[in-house]
A and B are shown apart, each in its own frame.
Chain A
Amino acid sequence: EPEVTQTPSHQVTQMGQEVILRCVPISNHLYFYWYRQILGQKVEFLVSFYNNEISEKSEIFDDQFSVERPDGSNFTLKIRSTKLEDSAMYFCASGDRYNEQFFGPGTRLTVL
Chain B
Amino acid sequence: AQSVTQLGSHVSVSEGALVLLRCNYSSSVPPYLFWYVQYPNQGLQLLLKYTSAATLVKGINGFEAEFKKSETSFHLTKPSAHMSDAAEYFCAVSTGFQKLVFGTGTRLLVSP
Collect the chain B residues with CB atoms within 8 Å of residue A103's CB.
Answer: 36, 43-45
Across the interface, name the chain A residue whose C-beta is closest to B51.
A99
CB-CB under 8 A from B44, the residues of chain A are: 43, 91, 93, 103
User: How distant is B109 from chain A, measured CB to nearest CB, in Å?
Assistant: 16
| CB-CB contacts below 8 Å: B44-60 with A | 44-46, 49, 51
Which residue of B has the minimal Cβ distance to A40?
B105
Describe A's contact surface by its main secondary structure: strand
Q: How many residues of A contact B (CB 8 A)?
A: 25
Query: Can you report 10 A-B residue pairs in the complex whose CB atoms are below 8 A from each other?
Result: A42-B104, A48-B97, A50-B97, A56-B99, A93-B100, A99-B94, A99-B97, A100-B46, A101-B100, A105-B42
Bound together, the chains give a CA A93 to CA B44 distance in angstroms of: 9
Residues in A neighbouring B51, C-beta threshold 8 A:
98-99
* Separation of A45 and B3 alpha carbons in the complex (Å): 12
What separation, in Å, do the CA atoms of A50 and B99 have in the docked complex?
A: 12
A34-47: contact bitstring with B at CB < 8 Å (1 yes, 0 no)? 01000001111100
